[in-house]
Each structure stands twice: as structure tokens, then as C-alpha cells.
Chain A
Amino acid sequence: MSRLASVLVPFALGTALAAQTTVFTGARILPGGAPPIADGVLVVTGGRIAAVGDAATPVPDGAAIVDCRGRTITPGLIDASFRGGAAAGDLNEQGDEVTPHLRALDSLDPDDPALARARAAGVTAVHLMPGTRNVIGGLGCVVKTAGTDPAAMLVKADVSLRIVMGSEPSAENRAIRGGRVDSIYYRRPTTRMGVVWETRRAFHEAKQALELSLGATPAPPDRGREVLQRVLRGDLTAYTTARSEQDIRTALRIAAEFGYRTVIDEAQDAWVVADELLAAQVTVLLGAPSAAQVQGSAGRDGADPRYATAKLLADRGIPFVITTGTNTAALELVREAMFAARNGVAPAQAIDAVTIAPARLLGIADRTGSLAAGKDADFVVWSHDPLDPAAVAESVHIDGKPVPASR
């Protein structure tokens, strides 16, 4: 306890003086995407990392020294598919099933308890996407997990377009069979076919409009269509949520059909379609590898998760990122990485799969995801190796500022 206090006290000073240099010494540093440093030194100045290196790294004069012997420092974790961050219902616009232009950022509630929980568990940035109730939900963004102003928390806006396969987009819809139609839930799609049809129609119209606009008369602007056209042009990556084998194949097929780049989100059945995934050269977001079954609203999608999936993806060389995803049974992100490691993924790769790999995928690796000079000082001091089940995030730093580790 007293050691913990000695760790925390200088932080309080550090926040008072923004330009203050703080040096973390003696820890084992896992920089992310680079070999570990046994007796490492991390120099933080003004919210950014000034230097990372071994014990020989020069310590600036007047710097506050934090002794981290026996600790492990990793980059702040990045959850590339995060459930929460907004009030329930605010991430699903039920007025329409295809809403490509809606921004999850607009619903972000910095006070959301899920953010606080993630933060306390060492997650410093999350990829917040619209919910899974729409066929095409809208635009995702990456935000830091601490802050009061969404604009200040934002790392990158419009990083993804969420498309959802499977049963969720049709889950509560009712077909119009006469009677009073006084609910917006009387609508398509009510089947998986309908979901696919809606996706295809949206892209088809976008593509048609794109081809037309090359001609003399530009089509009238449509903000949703413009977003889809960005996907078609390759300026924006689609994140297709597809859990079961069937849905993953569909996702790959539509992407190939319209020629856009996609990431497969959730992908519990990836072990069945590894060949296709490899051939399509897609990245896989593996949601909650610790879960023995898919729980929550997607439970009836029919996916059959296996503990060995992560190792299989690693062995086959399919790029993957570990997330918590939509599964309500998901553990903390670091525990999911631990789980993957215990099921055969190399420890370094497991850590990378929650730090530098998602950062690269989301296009934010220039700011966070690894410990390197010039990057944001987002890092976590762990009591043990983060893949040790006893590991606790003793202190979590976002932009150099410690955030409350507990609660």
C-alpha cells in the first residue's frame, strides 16, 4: 500500500505542472510491436512520451522519478469493438434500417459507467460504433476513455462504417400483415435475407449514384449515400459484424461483390472459415475469445465460438485484434488477451492484439497503441505481467495524466 502511495503522490504533482517531466524507472516495459525492455525507463513530458529505453536512457534534470520496480508497463489498451459509452438505445437509430451517416460520436456520454470500468481496467482508447440494431448503423469513432468533452476525447472520427449481418437487425421487426400500422417496427427486414438485401440495395444505389455522378448531371446529395460511396472508393473501411460461419461468408461475399474493404467484427466462427478469411486478406476482430457462447442479443445467430480460434488465426497468419465486442459475457480486455495467450497465442502477440494491432487497424498508430517517443502518453502500470491473472492496473495514464485506477 505504501508503495502504491509512493507511486501516486508524484502524479498529483504532475497534474499540477503540465509541462513537468515524469520518469518511470525500473519497470519491465512492453512497448507494443517491439521487444520487451527488462529494466526500462519511460520519460513523459507534457502529456507525450519523450523517450523509452533501457536503464541507460538519460533522465532529464528536475524530473519527478517514479520507481516502478517489479511492475510492468504497457501501452494503454485499445478496445477495437466496445459496447457502451452511450445511454442504452442512443446508439441504435430505429427510424431507419440503413443509416450510414449517423455518428456514434453524437451519442457519446463521457459519464457512461462502462467507460469508467474500461478505463480502470487499463483501456485508454475505445472504438465506439453505432449499435447492432441496424443493417448499416453508421460511423464509428475512436475516443479516449477519459474526459468530459467529446471533442477533446476524440482521437479519430469516422474511422469505420458498421454493417451488421445476422439476426440482430431483424430481431424486433414485425412484418406488415394488416391491422394498425402504428409502429416503426412494422418494417423490413424480418429475415437474414432481408438484412442482406438491405445491405446490397444500399450499396447498389450508392454505386449507381457514383457512376451517374461521373457523368454530366450530379445526383442530388444524400449524406448516407455519400458515406457508402466513400466505402466504395476505399476511403473508409467497413466493419461488418458477422458471427456465424454463414454471416462471415455473406460479409465477405458482399464486400467482394462491391469491391470494398471490410473488417470482420466479432467473427466467433472464424475457425470454420479460416481459408476464406485468409484468401480475402481481411482483419478479424475476435470478440471475447474467453466466452464459451455468444450471449446477449446475438445469441441466436448460431455462432459456435471455440477457445482455440485465436491460436488458429495466429497460426494461419490471419491478422486479428482482440476485443470485448457485443458479447455480454466478455471479460475485461486484458483478461481476454490473457485468455488468448493461455490458449496458445504467443504472449507478445496477445499484447499486440490489444495495443498496436488495433491502433494500426484504426489508423491511430501515430498517436497511441505503442510506447515510442512522440506518441501520446497513454500507458498502464500493471502490478504483474498483464497476462498474469493477478495483474491489476495500478495506475492508468491518458495523455500523461493519471486517471483514477479504481471504480
Chain B
Amino acid sequence: MRRYLPLALAAAVSPFCARAAAQDVLLQARRIVVAPDAVLDDGRVLLRQGKVAYVGTEVPAEARARARRVDYGPAFVVPGFVLAQTTLGHDADLAERALPFTPDLRAAEAADPWQEDLLELPRHGVTALALAPASGNVAGGIAALVKSGRERAVVGDDLYLTLSLARNARQAERPPTSLMGAVDLLRSAFDGVRTGIGQGPDAAVLRQAMQGTRGVFVYADNFAELNAALDLGRDFGLRLVLVGAAHAEKVLPRLVQQQAAVVLGTLRPELRRAELELPARLAVAGVPFCFGGDPELLRQSAALAVQYGLDRRSALQALTRVPAALLDRDGTLGALRQGHAADFVVFTGDPLDLSSAHVATWVDGVLVAGSEPGAAPVAEPPAAAAGVR
């Protein structure tokens, strides 16, 4: 219930939000993507109390009377994008450099609600994200759930645990300095918990990971790191999500066999072709994946993946449903089904075509970026105005 507290606060401080949240909204557009495999043409969505109260093509009678109509005309409406892992470029604040093993630290403590990157998120279509400890620690800590929009920030501080076998984690002037050292550190820690020697808050976090009640995100890029991560996952029964995973094509069979998921880094056009084609290969193999990293380039990453062979449906899933599921929030995020949070983004066309421009972003039934049809845009950073037609 903690997550609605900021909402209430927002309603209290902003008269605009108060109006918007109090009144029902009947959303209308040429195409509404409820979920990647359920698309409504000329559909209606009724927003009530920040949630989706109704989805369909017929307008319910009770809504007709009371709801404020918001008609985006020819635009596309898609569920708000979810970013399953990001540090918002603040790696230094999100990795405790003095110690390699800090599983009980919380990224929520480092989240600054007035951070500029956070304020920019709605413009990029991101409505929810997991702020994760950075890759500098072998065991980094616990990620926080953040919803974008101005007055709200951290709505959950107890998401997944991050581990790291990436080069970053073993380059500091402290042990471990080698992959085998990092693996051994983790293995002995998990072993300690299993045999009951390990105690204390860090052991408690590891225990939850081993019991499967807490997801484990492991930063790993190359073949050896990925293999080591998969070994750990297998030996200790972790719910494994690999982050980065630039060489994931080399461990594809193991990913499938262990039902691990992958959070890919930001795709950039200058990457190796194998890396650009990786999303398509993962989709074919049935490995759930999504994009992490830079929120500004989230949609571009998906579009690049589409250019290199990914089908549009999987690409949209990678932006919405998959990350919501990896955060164990697929009941409230990643779709516009009844009962889900009213988080959605409006584009002039298919969001996977880069020629489509961003029109508006709504979070919890409130417009947080862009414009309402026929209304002036919500005041936002001046640079953003140019990006909207």
C-alpha cells in the first residue's frame, strides 16, 4: 500500500493532479494496445482512481455521464514502458566500492526523486523502472521500484537482488580480482547460508534468493561470466536474470534449459552484428528478454532489434510485459488490462517505428508528459517541447 502514498501526496500538492485523479477519464484512440497480443481498434479505456477500470469498444453507460473524454484521435496508445534494470547513469552512487559483498544494501536509499534523469523519464515513454545497484560489487544489493512522473518516485524498495560477475566487479583494488575469486565468494556465501553458518541481514537476502522468493539479477557479459552465473543459478536454485549478456547467444541452450531471462543492455547501431541480432535469436529460442540501461534509448533499442529481425510483438513485450514480469509486477504493470495501473504512452504511430513521435505519457491516470488532445502541453523541460509535434 506504500505505493499509493506518493499518489495521495501528489494529489494533495498539485491542483491539476487532484482534478485529474478525482475524475474518471474515458480514453479513446484509433488503436489501443492493451497487451502485445490484444489490440483494440477504436477502443475505449476507462481510468478510475489511477487504475484501468474498463477496457473495450463499447462505452459503458455509467461512464458516459461522468467521465471526462480524452480522445487522441489517430494516435497509438501502448502500455507504459517498464525498465527492468537501470542505474540512470549513477553507477558510482549505486555500488559500494569499499566492499565487494553487500547484498543487503538498498538502491532505494540512493534514489533522489528530484534527479533530472528521473524527471525526463516520461518523455521517453518509461512509466516504471527498477533502480538497481550497479555492477561494481559482486553482490550489490536490492533494487527499488520507481514510477516516473513528477511527484512520485520510489514506490517499492524490495525488488530483486543484484549480483555481478562482470569485469567491473573485479577491477577495484580489493578482492576479488579474478572471476574464480568472485565465483568463490558467491558460492561460499550461498553455501554458508545453506549450511546455516551464514547469519545476519545479508544471509537473509541470500536465503530469500535461494528459496525463490526474490529474483536474482546477475551482471555477466562474456561466455565465462555467463556460464559461471548459470552454474550458480543451477546449484542454488536461483530465479536467474542475466543482465548485459552481450554474448548470450553462446549459452542459448543453457538459458532455455534453466529458464533464465535476460536484460540486454542498450542497443547501439555500432555494436557487433551478433549483438544486434541477439534479441531476435532469444525470441526464437523462447528466452524472455527485455532492454535495460539508458531509458532515453529504450524505444530505440527495441526498434533496432526489430530492424535486425525481431518481430514487433516480441519487441513490444520486451518493453512492457516481460520487464513487468521480471519485477514480479505483471499484475499491475506492463498492460492496460482491468485492474492494472493506468500507465500508458501515446505515440503518433507504432512506437517501434522511429518515425512515430511521442505525444503523451500518463502515469496512474495522470498526464505527466506531453499533451492532452486540444490542450496545451504540460509544462516540462523546454528541450522536450521541440520533440513533440
Instruction: State whether these chains interact.
Output: yes
Interface residues of B in 136-166 (CB under 8 A from A): none
CB of B313 closer than 8 Å to a CB of A? no
Q: Cβ of A106: which chain B residues have Cβ within 8 Å of it?
A: 179-180, 183-184, 228
Nearest CB to that of A182 among chain B residues? Answer: B173
Please judge, given known A-B contacts A102-B184, A106-B183, A106-B184, whether A92 and B177 are in contact too, CB under 8 Å.
yes
Task: Select the residue from A95, A109, A149, A221 with max chain B CB neighbours within 10 A.
Answer: A95
CA distance A89 to B174 in the complex (A): 14
Please judge, given known A-B contacts A106-B183, A148-B250, whether A95 and B188 are in contact too, CB under 8 Å.
no
Q: Cβ of A166: which chain B residues have Cβ within 8 Å of it?
A: none
CB of B197 closer than 8 Å to a CB of A? yes
CB of B49 closer than 8 Å to a CB of A? no
CB of A304 closer than 8 Å to a CB of B? no
Q: Which of B176, B179, B222 contacts A95 (CB 8 A)?
A: B176
Q: Cβ of B231: which chain A residues have Cβ within 8 Å of it?
A: 150-151
CB of A223 closer than 8 Å to a CB of B? yes
What's the minimum C-beta distance from A380 to chain B, rounded to whole angstroms? 26
CB pair A93–B180 under 8 Å, yes or no, is: yes
CA distance A110 to B250 in the complex (A): 10
CB of A138 closer than 8 Å to a CB of B? yes
CB pair A91–B175 under 8 Å, yes or no, is: no
Query: What per-residue 1/0 map shows which CB atoms of A123-139 lie under 8 Å from chain B?
Result: 00000001000000010
What's the minimum C-beta distance from B341 to chain A, rounded to whole angstroms? 41
Q: How large is the interface on B (under 10, 10 to 19, 20 to 34, 35 or more residues)?
A: 20 to 34
CB of B14 closer than 8 Å to a CB of A? no
Interface residues of B in 244-271 (CB under 8 A from A): 250-251, 254
Q: Which of B173, B180, B188, B227 contacts A149 (CB 8 A)?
A: B227
CB of B181 closer than 8 Å to a CB of A? yes
CB of B236 closer than 8 Å to a CB of A? no
Q: Cβ of B173: which chain A residues have Cβ within 8 Å of it?
A: 182-185
Q: Cβ of A96: which chain B residues have Cβ within 8 Å of it?
A: 175
For chain A, the count of residues having a C-beta within 8 Å of the partner chain is: 34
Q: Cβ of B184: which chain A residues have Cβ within 8 Å of it?
A: 93, 99, 101-103, 106
Task: Select the residue from B175, B180, B223, B231 with max chain A CB neighbours within 10 A.
Answer: B180
Please judge, given known A-B contacts A182-B173, A183-B173, whether A109 and B224 are in contact too, CB under 8 Å.
yes
CA distance A185 to B175 in the complex (A): 11
CB of B178 closer than 8 Å to a CB of A? yes
Q: Cβ of A138: which chain B residues have Cβ within 8 Å of it?
A: 180
CB pair A93–B250 under 8 Å, yes or no, is: no
Q: Which of B224, B227, B254 contacts A90 (CB 8 A)?
A: B224
CB of A334 closer than 8 Å to a CB of B? no
CB pair A99–B181 under 8 Å, yes or no, is: yes
Q: Cβ of A104: which chain B residues have Cβ within 8 Å of it?
A: 180
Nearest CB to that of A101 among chain B residues? Answer: B184
CB pair B181–A102 under 8 Å, yes or no, is: yes
Q: Cβ of A86: which chain B residues have Cβ within 8 Å of it?
A: 179, 224
Q: Cβ of A151: which chain B residues have Cβ within 8 Å of it?
A: 231
A-B contact pairs, 6 of them (CB 8 A): A107-B180, A109-B222, A111-B250, A138-B180, A183-B173, A221-B197
Name A residues whose Cβ lies closer than 8 Å to a Cβ of B: 86-87, 89-96, 99, 101-111, 130, 138, 148-151, 182-185, 221, 223
